[in-house]
Amino acid sequence: MAVKHNSKVIFEVGLDENRIPEKIQWSADDAQVSNEPAEAVMISVWNDQTKETLRMDLWTKEMKMFEMQVFFHQTLKSMSEVYRRATNDDKMADTMMDFVDYFEEKLELEKKRNGGAN
């Protein structure tokens, strides 16, 4: 199959003197996003030759713990949904979602959201 269209997603990371992220921005032509601020980004890339996942996980030092907990919860939930669509393995996807619910419960995310926790 021939490539009909190329699309770019660009992340720009501003680092402090210790190379810790201070500012993250991203742009995506097809989504009409330009220099949108972000506090965190997780990227996974599958390398077919080595059969390994390459990862890049970045977050700004200003990101609050509660925000990171919500970010992880939403990421885990999304990964469960993507796994279901990609594999049609409902049983495992349901098991993953059980963990997502457990994660949310143990961190008391709903309670913190309603109480305005940081």
Whole-model pTM: value is 0.87
Q: pLDDT grade, residue 114 (50/70/90)?
A: confident
* pLDDT tens, position by position, 77-102: 999 999 999 999 999 999 999 999 99
pLDDT digits (tens, 9 = 90+) for 16-74: 999 999 999 999 999 999 999 999 999 999 999 999 999 999 999 999 999 999 999 99
**Mean of pLDDT values over 106-116:** 87
For residue 25, what are its two tokens? Answer: 């921005």
Q: How many helices (H) and strands (E) does the chain have?
A: 3, 5
Q: Which helix (H) or strand (E) holds 67?
A: helix 65-87
- C-alpha closest to that of 35 among 24, 44, 43, 26: 26
- Give how far the C-alpha of residue 33 lies from the chain's centroid of Cα atoms, to the nearest Å: 17
CB 11 within 8 A of CB 33: no
Residue 117 binned pLDDT confidence (cut-offs 50, 70, 90): low
**To the nearest whole percent, how much of the chain has pLDDT over 90?**
92
pLDDT value at position 93?
98
